Amino acid sequence: MMKKEIEICSGTGIISRVVFGDVGSGMPDCALAECLAPYPEVFAVIDANLTDKSSAAGSVYAMLQERNVPSYAVEASEQAKNMETVLGICSWLMDCNAGRDALVLAIGGGITTDMTGFAASVYKRGVRFAYVPTTLLAQVDASVGGKTGVNFEQYKNMLGIIRQPEFTYADIRMLGSLPYRDFLSGAAEMLKTFIIEDNGNYAVSAGVLKELHSAAVQQCRSGECEFRKMTLSDVMVKAAVEWDVLANLVAESIKVKAGIVSRDQFEGGERRKLNLGHTFAHAIETLARRHGDDLTHGEAVAIGIVMAARLAGLCPDIAPSHDCALAARLEADFTACGLPVRCPYDILGMAEVMSKDKKSEGGKVHFVLPCAVGDVRIVDLSAAEACAMLK
């Protein structure tokens, strides 16, 4: 059977591919083995938490071990997302005598893929790399588009490079053991892509996510499962949603991102739209760290998207073309999907943090403002101006 895939292109041709696992076929490790067949030397970097052989990621790991693929486990945390870990990967590649022909395969979430892509990009001035993302966030965002890097000083992803993976192997079955709250974090990024480019997928995905969330809530109420301990599989068992419906939405979301990256790989213009909700989200995440609050990236993005929709209605440049019911619609949808929508921090504190955003240029930040589902605009404003409007 033909493998389903999406190509990412630039002026010079195909620069990367996303290959999808087929839910109805054999296990992910077989399909991945096919993807790896053309590469003579493979070296695997894996999130240290994923080596348990009972999960899909564990079965991939076991397949690699059977094939004597050397592997290296990394701690996948924001604290460990630094140059020391990248240098550790490079030292290990040197110890293994990895040559210029090497393919470095990252298995894990976005932290693992970002660090591995960066290490492979600098090792011997750049060797090939590929990804097996094991979170929804990594499948629809981090593993597609070539952004690699690490945190530096107090800034997230301050050091890095845009360099494309040979391929990303996206398989919904890798997500079965994912904590449901982490799934929801990726779901916010998926909804984001459909607010940028709709094609009818926004309403479908919101409907699917609402169905999943009501199944999750029911399980919590009946005492069957604790919210924090629930996996996506636990919820899927009880929900009227088929795995291939979810797989199709993931593929549609990746298709939107792949199209944008194909048109603007290095974020000179259109790719900025993918930062929808993120200017607010980064400030919210910084304040959450300061207050010791527990908030996932996707939760911050959901709040940030709603703030951006409110700002769009207040911004004189675009308010006339803005759907005035949008912010309320997004709020209602996100809430029903299990995502937060209210910013827990004072808007003035947000302005102070946002003014230090590494993406601000000449005091202005590129705000991505949704006018309607499927219509977002980029407006340059200072953080103070934006927050004053929202006050």
Least distance (Å) from ligand GLY to the CB of residue 261? Answer: 7
Cβ distance 354 to 390 under 8 Å? no
Least distance (Å) from ligand GLY to the CB of residue 324? Answer: 28
Centre a 10 Å sphere on the Cβ of residue 30 and count the other Cβ atoms it contains. Answer: 13
For residues 144 and 381, which CB has a smaller minimum distance to ligand GLY in the complex?
144
**Contact residues for ligand GLY (CB under 6 A)?**
141, 145, 147, 271, 274
Least distance (Å) from ligand GLY to the CB of residue 91? Answer: 28
Coil, strand or helix at 74 = strand
The Cα–Cα gap between 1 and 384 comes to 55
For residues 271 and 322, which CB has a smaller minimum distance to ligand GLY in the complex?
271
For residues 21 and 277, which CB has a smaller minimum distance to ligand GLY in the complex?
277
125 classed as catalytic: yes
213 classed as catalytic: no
Residue from 252, 267, 299, 385 carrying the catalytic annotation: 267
329 classed as catalytic: no
5 classed as catalytic: no
Residue from 125, 221, 342, 358 carrying the catalytic annotation: 125
The Cα–Cα gap between 220 and 223 comes to 5
The Cα–Cα gap between 196 and 194 comes to 5
297 classed as catalytic: yes
Q: Is 38 exposed, middle or buried (0-12, 13-18, 19+ CB in 10 A)?
A: exposed
For residues 252 and 385, which CB has a smaller minimum distance to ligand GLY in the complex?
252
Structure tokens given for 191: 């909804």
156 classed as catalytic: no
263 classed as catalytic: no
147 classed as catalytic: yes
Cβ distance 28 to 89 under 8 Å? no
Least distance (Å) from ligand GLY to the CB of residue 81? Answer: 15
Residue from 81, 192, 213, 297 carrying the catalytic annotation: 297
189 classed as catalytic: yes
Least distance (Å) from ligand GLY to the CB of residue 173? Answer: 24
How many residues are there in the chain?
391
Residue from 81, 128, 272, 278 carrying the catalytic annotation: 278
Q: Which helix (H) or strand (E) holds 376?
A: strand 375-381
For residues 8 and 98, which CB has a smaller minimum distance to ligand GLY in the complex?
8
**What's the order of all strands across the beta sheet hosting 5-10?**
5-10, 13-20, 167-170, 128-133, 102-108, 41-47, 71-74
Residue from 163, 166, 173, 189 carrying the catalytic annotation: 189
> Catalytic residue positions?
125, 147, 189, 257, 267, 271, 275, 278, 282, 297
